[in-house]
Amino acid sequence: MNRCSDESDVADRGACEVPLIDERATARALAALPDEGGVRTLSDMYSALSDRTRLRILLALAAEELCVCDLAAITGVSPSAISHQLRLLRDRDLVTFERVGKRAVYRLADEHVAILLEQGLRHVEERS
Amino acid sequence: MNRCSDESDVADRGACEVPLIDERATARALAALPDEGGVRTLSDMYSALSDRTRLRILLALAAEELCVCDLAAITGVSPSAISHQLRLLRDRDLVTFERVGKRAVYRLADEHVAILLEQGLRHVEERS
DNA sequence: TGAACGTATGAACAGATGTTCAGATGAGAG
DNA sequence: CTCTCATCTGAACATCTGTTCATACGTTCA
């Protein structure tokens, strides 16, 4: 079903499931790909931004430090749901928080997050 | 359960479900938020990049024009699954394709996509 | 101390998502 | 024409994901 050329380590995880059309281009593309860990990290970062609620949380925090309650009001989502999402964003190191009395005041973890959001918004504008 | 100040249109979709702590900050953050359509578009873009298979497809296409078969070999995923994902990427205007005989040669839709990927990779590097 | 509040957490549920499978389409080779 | 190949498609399936609900925790204030 395939000529199974073992010269290039193309997708050697499953060993030759699919025939290659353009071996050269395939080899080059494969070489250009980040390692599996890098791809995973990148997709994890994007998936954190792929939900409307989380995205509005981050965009709001890009403008102001806010507590759970206010974020709930801004997004129109229950405080519980917000708390769950904030936990995910914390695990991804996208936000940090500080306890102030009974409140938990959240902010973006670092400047890179704000830059990332801004770049994303710019791309959306440019391709309309 | 809430004082329901109707001065600010905070989350008026559900009408006052949650009390506000810091009204000023909440109002400012809400004003800074893009409209619902913008948030939707942005999250859609990110969700297209949030899957490992799709991400590897795009990263591979950033290096080389490739057909479905070669993308299947590169990612180690079946041609059928690749085709499904390419359809999604086409619908999101992230890739285009050209028929060459029986093959379908895919490429990134425009330069913005390549830039977006590169920026994402850079962010992943910087925050390690 | 006790009540109210802001937040966190785990289980449960519904809806979304990615892959597989079987089958169809269209182009090129014999 | 017929067969093969590359690709596409829809249904089925299992898994993942986001919200809700009930509940628990820690802080503040009376």
Whether chain B has a CB inside 8 Å of the CB on A5: the answer is no
- According to the model, what pLDDT value does residue B27 have? 96
Q: What is the mean pLDDT of residues A99-114?
A: 97
- According to the model, what pLDDT value does residue A16 have? 46
**pLDDT of A87-101, one tens digit each?**
999 999 999 999 999
pLDDT means per 10 residues, chain B with 128 residues, are 38 52 94 97 98 98 98 97 98 98 97 97 91
- According to the model, what pLDDT value does residue A25 have? 96
B87 CB inside 7 Å of strand D: yes
Write down all domains in chain B, each with its CATH number in brackets. Answer: 51-126 (1.10.10.10)
Whether chain B has a CB inside 8 Å of the CB on A80: the answer is no
Find the Å distance, CA of residue B91 to C1' of nucleotide C13: 31
A27 has pLDDT over 80: yes
- According to the model, what pLDDT value does residue A31 have? 97
Find the Å distance, CA of residue B69 to C1' of nucleotide D10: 21
Q: What proportion of chain A, given as a percentage, has pLDDT over 90?
A: 81
Nearest protein residue to nucleotide D8 (CA to C1' distance) is B83
Beta bridge partners of B104: B99
Dist CA B10 CA B20 (whole Å) = 9
H-run or E-run covering B116:
helix B111-126
A127 has pLDDT over 80: yes
Q: Within chain B, what is the greatest distance between any pair of CA atoms?
A: 67
Q: What is the mean pLDDT of residues A62-76?
A: 97
Q: Answer yes or no: are the C-beta atoms of B108 and B95 closer than 8 Å.
A: yes
State the average pLDDT for chain A.
89
Name the residue facing B21 among A43, A103, A120 (closest C-beta).
A103
pLDDT tier at A78 (50, 70, 90 boundaries)? very high
A66 has pLDDT over 70: yes
- According to the model, what pLDDT value does residue B127 have? 83
Distance from CA of B19 to the nearest CA of A (A): 7
> CA angle, corner B25, sides to B37 and A87, nearest 5?
70
DSSP letters, chain A, are -----TTS-TTTTT-S-S--S-HHHHHHHHHHSPPHHHHHHHHHHHHHTSSHHHHHHHHHHHH--EEHHHHHHHHT--HHHHHHHHHHHHHTTSEEEEEETTEEEEEESSHHHHHHHHHHHHHHHH--
Dist CA B71 CA A29 (whole Å) = 9
Bases on strand C under 7 Å from any protein CB: 5-11, 17-23, 26-28
Q: Which amino acid is at A90?
A: R
**pLDDT of A32-48, one tens digit each?**
999 999 999 999 999 99
Whether chain B has a CB inside 8 Å of the CB on A34: the answer is yes
Q: Answer yes or no: are the C-beta atoms of A74 and B29 closer than 8 Å.
A: yes
A49 CB inside 7 Å of strand D: no
Whether chain A has a CB inside 8 Å of the CB on B91: the answer is no
Nearest to A24 by CA among B103, B109, B65, B68: B65
Closest residue in A to B17 (Cα–Cα):
A73
- According to the model, what pLDDT value does residue A128 have? 81
Does ipTM exceed 0.85?
A: yes
Closest residue in B to A79 (Cα–Cα):
B18
Find the Å distance, CA of residue B25 to C1' of nucleotide D10: 49
